[in-house]
Amino acid sequence: MRVIIEPNYDKMSKWAADYVAARIIEANPTPEKPFKLGCPTGSSPLGLYKELIKKYEAGELSFQNVVTFNMDEYVNLPEEHPESYHSFMWNNFFSHIDIKRENVHILNGNAPDLTAECEAYEAAIEAAGGIDLFMGGVGPDGHLAFNEPGSSLTSKTRVKTLTTDTIIANSRFFDGDLSLVPKQALTVGIGTVMAAKEVLLVCNGHHKARALQHIVDGNVSHMWTASMLQMHRKAIVVCDEPACDELTVATYKYYLDKERGNL
Ligand code: GLP
């Protein structure tokens, strides 16, 4: 695992966006051979999306031949609800770039048969040839997408019941009212993310420090599902300084020195 420590949120977002843009440009995608990008929601990737939009506006990057697969979506929340992940993605990213609507994939949390929806999603990822780069955030409890503590580390796309921790954390988007937060979500599995060629996580803020400690310094554990990235051949975690508050001094110094070229 590669760990990039940036001084603050803006620099973290910029580093992540530069990396994603470089990967897309390098792949030189075409309609026949598009670049497949996995997309997260949440406040963490907002800066990353803003930076990618800037690159598109500056003419440095096009999403014409990019196919996206989102990580997750709430169950039974109307698509047009302002807090649905459909709304989030169109408002914060897709409406501002040249992506083709037919190239966007987001799980349908209102599908009549949720299991069939999840199976079809996995099949669509496979039919597309797999995901080239899965971007992600992390929950304060170390969850990746909606793979809550205790999730199988080989899981595929399925319905998950949210933990109380996540319901409380996400209630900030629902006027702080826990009763308004959906209790279930459809989510790609840890196995789905692990199957991507590359994974790039953004992790910022002191409230994520314990999660980062478990992901970087801890053991692989289904109680901190993002820790499974330790087993990925090409995983990068980009974080800001406050997120490093719980890392051991040795780990912190190692990753800083390594990226500065002092090692
Ligand atoms: C939700 C999403 C995750 C996201 C997490 C953290 O639970 N399903 O994909 O990583 O929130 O969100 P934030 O970035 O707002 O802290």
Ligand 1 atom closest to the CA of 71, numbered from 1 = 9
pTM of the entire structure? 0.97
Q: Among positive and negative, which fits the CA dihedral 188, 190, 194, 195?
A: negative
Report pLDDT digits (tens) over 54-95: 999 999 999 999 999 999 999 999 999 999 999 999 999 999
Report pLDDT digits (tens) over 217-233: 999 999 999 999 999 99
CA of 147 relative to ligand 1 center, distance in Å? 11
Per-residue model confidence (pLDDT) at position 150: 97
Report pLDDT digits (tens) over 249-262: 999 999 999 988 88
Any ligand 1 atom below 6 A from CB of 188: no
Cβ-based neighbours of 166, under 8 Å, separated by 6 or more:
139, 141, 143, 146, 148
Any ligand 1 atom below 6 A from CB of 229: no
Beta bridge partners, 161, equal: 184
Q: Where are the alpha helices (DSSP H) in the chain?
A: 9-27, 46-57, 85-92, 114-127, 164-170, 190-194, 209-212, 249-260
Q: Is 98 known to be catalytic?
A: no
User: What integer best gives the mean pLDDT of the chain?
Assistant: 97
Q: Is 222 known to be catalytic?
A: no
Q: How far apart are CA 116 and CA 113, in angstroms?
A: 5
Report pLDDT digits (tens) over 236-251: 999 999 999 999 999 9
Any ligand 1 atom below 6 A from CB of 138: yes
Pairing mode, if any, of strands 66-70 and 235-240? unpaired
Per-residue model confidence (pLDDT) at position 261: 85
Q: Closest Cα to atom 1, ligand 1: which residue?
A: 42
